[in-house]
Amino acid sequence: MIIKTLEVGPIMANCYILGCEETKEAVVIDPGDEADRILMTLAQDKLKVKYIINTHGHFDHVGANRALKEATKADLMIHAEDEPMLSELALHARSFGLDAENSPPADINISHNDEIKFGNITLKVIHTPGHSRGGVCLLTDKVLIAGDTLFAGSIGRTDLPGGDYETLISSIKTKLLCLDEDTVVYTGHGPSTTIGREKKINPFLT
């Protein structure tokens, strides 16, 4: 599997491109900004985007939805509980002193245990509310795309609308820490980590 990480936008969110080496089908996860750079990376690897997937609806993870969808014609996916945020991105960004373009609505609402297939790869959807009501993680083999649910040595913030600390901790402990310890966690901001490492050293979880 091809995995590309692009740190995009002023809040430096991680956008991920996952591609099937055999078929060249791909998904773009959390295109927060810099659509041209994302499209250039796709072109370099000759990848065709089947789906744009949002792990949650905050503007720093979805700000390039519109431009990327217009360029690729790919279907846009998000959990139903976060879809209302897509039409409020400009307002949310302004509260941080930034600009963002509202997103088109989702083509597909994803739910817990759904499977997203592209090429020879299947992503399992894990609903992990707490950072937002509709936050999800995406699992394939021993790779977890965690959005803003879990970070290296930290967790997602819970002081934004839809956030709840106890819910987030429960999501992580019941749905993520049960995964294999060598599962690599690709986070929404900052460096990657592993489930085993976070079980040992994350101060919010120990």
Residue 13 pLDDT class (50, 70, 90 cuts)? very high
The tens digit of pLDDT for each residue in 148-200 reads 999 999 999 999 889 999 999 999 999 999 999 999 999 999 999 999 999 99
Tell me the whole-structure pTM to 2 decimals. Answer: 0.96
At residue 4, the pLDDT reads 98
At residue 108, the 3 state secondary structure works out as strand
Give every CB contact of residue 134 below 8 A, 6+ residues apart in sequence: 56, 57, 78, 79, 80, 81, 82, 83, 127, 162
Q: Which domains does the chain have, with CATH numbers?
A: 2-201 (3.60.15.10)
Q: Is 200 left (phi over 0), alpha (psi -120 to 50) or beta?
A: alpha
At residue 91, the pLDDT reads 83
Among residues of the chain, what percentage have pLDDT more than 70?
A: 100
At residue 96, the pLDDT reads 84
Looking up tokens 């997937």 gives 53
